[in-house]
């Protein structure tokens, strides 16, 4: 088996299209995870026991089962009850739900780390609950969360090849289809590794910077 | 200044009526009742765990009550009248009532992400819809009063404990409450920083007609500061009276025992 540069340039456009989808899925998945995490945290803090228990159980359930199974469920099982989703959308929903349960834990820890005295001072200052969240809680709770959230961002990025299982044409899937049609594996699969490595390295450098800037979560 | 004997003539600004407070199986306050006249300076003293902090926290609505009623400035604190019946108050009512009350905490609880001046102006801007410029002018006046005007731009982490506590007092004053609650505001301070905070409190007591309730273990300060002393033990007021009576001629055995212990620990009264 010899490394064929000509073949590399030939398949590059397809692989780059795959990279685009991989990055897109990561960004959309992260955005959804950020929102899902917020919803979970708010629901779990709800005074309504039925709401907090149900959401708590669902979150544990999602976190305790493999992402791949969830992706299959969303893409192949939901159509049975009439919910037919395009592959990328199904993938983003899967990533967002799965990682949303992790971001919820980051939010929860960040909020719980805020001393009780801050809530009490806000109340003694007669701030409303919304004002308390905006002006007292979030400005203090969010910065320490950023490194942990960035970690999950990178972890999610590295799990996007799972989306190939539900026919999303991300990087891994493009590489596989190139390989299958040309019977050459070495270049496409090596390049997949290189792309992931390069993007991960760039992200890790960004993460180190965020950690220095905002400090690690205790 | 209103003295204990005059209560009954003036409408009390605080009327605590047989309130009880349980933490699980533990009864922290036991049918506690007392009244405070407008402008009165009250010191709450008593052994550790007797419920002093808890009653202040209840007045600040940081803690709920299990039974009883509290009237503040003519209105029920924890109840509203509906169809001639008193029912539990909602958050909107509590929000209205909190305008009348401010609190200074043992551990300051300044907002660490905000400058000294922003700590003082945050609540007036948000809750009183004050213009920033007006809030800052008033904030600077208050910081000047507590001797912290030159640190207006500093962040809380750059201040000493005594300085933090003086800022916390200015922050509570910024909302112009009728009632101020102080919970052991000097007990977390290094000894050499206590006096600067007590001086601010003395100034406040002399210059304003605010009603002040203060929990303290500094008996000589309670003696100077208070119009009336409430001695707490076991979630009840065991004895109350003018400082001279309580400190010089305590009637109850438990008060006597408490003061003896305090003197044995080296405090002057
Ligand atoms: N949140 C709580 N949960 C359980 N018990 C509590 C709680 N807050 C207070 N207590 C208990 O209630 C009792 C009275 O507490 P409180 O803080 O009012 O006492 P205190 O008179 O202020 O004492 P100290 O002089 O030590 O500050 C104590 O026994 C305390 O352990
Ligand atoms: Mg206390």
CA-closest candidate to residue A108, choices A54, A63, A41 = A41
Tens digit of pLDDT for each residue in B42-93?
Answer: 999 999 999 999 999 999 999 999 999 999 999 999 999 999 899 999 999 9
CATH number for the domain spanning A173: value is 1.10.3720.10
pLDDT of residue A139 exceeding 90, the answer is yes
Evaluate whether B67 touches B77 at the Cβ level (below 8 Å): no
B98 touches chain A (CB under 8 A): yes
Q: Which residues lie below 8 Å from residue B164, measured CB to CB, with a gap of 6+? A: B108, B110, B156
Cα(B100) to centroid of ligand 1, in Å?
25
B172 touches chain A (CB under 8 A): yes
Percent of chain A whose pLDDT exceeds 90: 87
Q: Is A87 helix (H, G, I), strand (E, B) or coil?
A: helix
- The reply to whether ligand 1 has any atom less than 6 angstroms from the CB of B50 is yes
Tens digit of pLDDT for each residue in B229-243?
Answer: 999 999 999 999 999
pLDDT of residue A73 exceeding 50, the answer is yes
Q: pLDDT class for A211, splitting at 50, 70, 90?
A: confident
Q: What is the DSSP string of A114-173?
A: S-HHHHHHHHHTT--HHHHIIIIIHHHHHHHHHHHHHHHHHHHHHHGGGGGGGT---HHH
C-alpha span between B169 and B243 (Å, rounded): 24
Residue reference for tokens 């505001």: B185
Q: Which residues lie below 8 Å from residue A68, measured CB to CB, with a gap of 6+? A: A162, A165
- The reply to whether ligand 1 has any atom less than 6 angstroms from the CB of B85 is no
Cα(A6) to centroid of ligand 2, in Å?
78
Tens digit of pLDDT for each residue in A161-181?
Answer: 999 999 998 999 999 999 999
Q: What is the DSSP string of B162-207?
A: HHHHHHHHHHHHTT--SEEEEESTTTTS-HHHHHHHHHHHHHHHHH
Q: What is the pLDDT of residue A215?
A: 64
A118 touches chain B (CB under 8 A): yes
Evaluate whether A25 touches A168 at the Cβ level (below 8 Å): yes
Give the structural domain span for A62: 5-214
Distance from CA of A42 to the nearest CA of B (A): 19
C-alpha span between B63 and B50 (Å, rounded): 16
Cα(B21) to centroid of ligand 1, in Å?
11
Q: How many domains does chain A have?
A: 1
What's the DSSP call for residue B160? -
**Token pair in block for residue B203:** 């100034």
C-alpha span between A73 and A80 (Å, rounded): 10
The model carries a pTM of 0.86
Phi, psi of A164 (to 5 degrees): -60, -25
Across the interface, do A125 and B123 touch by the CB < 8 Å criterion?
yes
Over its C-alpha atoms, chain A yields an Rg (Å, rounded) of 21
């Amino acid at each position: 088996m010899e490394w064929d540069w000509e073949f590399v340039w030939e398949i590059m456009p397809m692989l780059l299209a795959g990279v685009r989808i991989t990055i897109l899925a990561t960004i959309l998945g992260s955005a959804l995870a950020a929102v899902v995490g917020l919803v979970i945290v708010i629901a779990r803090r709800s005074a309504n026991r039925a709401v907090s228990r149900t959401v708590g159980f669902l979150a544990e359930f999602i976190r305790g089962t493999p992402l791949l199974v969830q992706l299959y469920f969303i893409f192949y099982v939901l159509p049975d009850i009439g919910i037919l989703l395009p592959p990328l959308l199904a993938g983003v929903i899967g990533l967002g739900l799965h990682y949303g349960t992790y971001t919820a834990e980051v939010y929860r820890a960040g909020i719980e780390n805020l001393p009780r005295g801050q809530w009490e001072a806000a109340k003694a200052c007669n701030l409303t609950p919304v004002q308390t969240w905006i002006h007292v809680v979030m400005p203090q709770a969010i910065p320490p969360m950023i490194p942990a959230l960035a970690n999950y961002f990178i972890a999610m990025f590295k799990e996007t090849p799972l989306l190939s299982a539900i026919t999303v044409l991300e990087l891994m899937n493009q590489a596989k289809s190139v390989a299958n049609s040309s019977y050459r594996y070495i270049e496409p699969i090596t390049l997949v590794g290189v792309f992931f490595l390069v993007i991960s390295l760039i992200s890790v450098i960004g993460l180190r910077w965020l950690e220095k800037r905002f400090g690690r979560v205790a | 200044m209103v003295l204990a004997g005059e209560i009954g003539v003036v409408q009390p600004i605080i009327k605590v009526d047989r309130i009880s407070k349980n933490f699980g199986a533990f009864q922290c306050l036991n049918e506690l009742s007392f009244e405070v006249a407008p402008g009165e300076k009250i010191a709450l003293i008593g052994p550790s765990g007797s419920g002093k902090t808890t009653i202040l926290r209840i007045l600040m609505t940081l803690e709920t009550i299990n039974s009883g009623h509290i009237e503040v400035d003519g209105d029920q604190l924890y109840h509203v009248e509906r169809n001639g019946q008193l029912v539990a108050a909602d958050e909107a009512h509590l929000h209205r009532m909190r305008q009348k009350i401010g609190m200074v905490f043992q551990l300051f609880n300044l907002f660490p992400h905000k400058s000294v001046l922003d700590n003082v102006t945050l609540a007036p801007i948000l809750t009183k819809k004050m213009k920033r410029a007006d809030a800052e002018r008033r904030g600077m006046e208050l910081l000047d009063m507590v001797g912290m005007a030159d640190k207006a731009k500093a962040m809380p982490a750059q201040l000493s404990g005594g300085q933090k506590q003086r800022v916390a007092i200015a922050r509570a004053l910024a909302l112009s409450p009728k009632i101020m609650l102080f919970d052991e505001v000097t007990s977390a301070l290094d000894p050499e920083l206590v006096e600067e905070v007590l001086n601010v409190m003395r100034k406040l007591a002399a210059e304003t007609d605010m009603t002040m309730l203060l929990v303290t273990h500094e008996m000589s300060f309670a003696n100077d500061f208070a119009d009336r002393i409430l001695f707490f033990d076991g979630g009840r007021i065991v004895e109350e009276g003018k400082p001279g009576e309580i400190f010089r001629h305590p009637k109850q055995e438990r008060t006597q025992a408490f003061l003896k212990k305090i003197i044995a620990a080296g405090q002057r009264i």
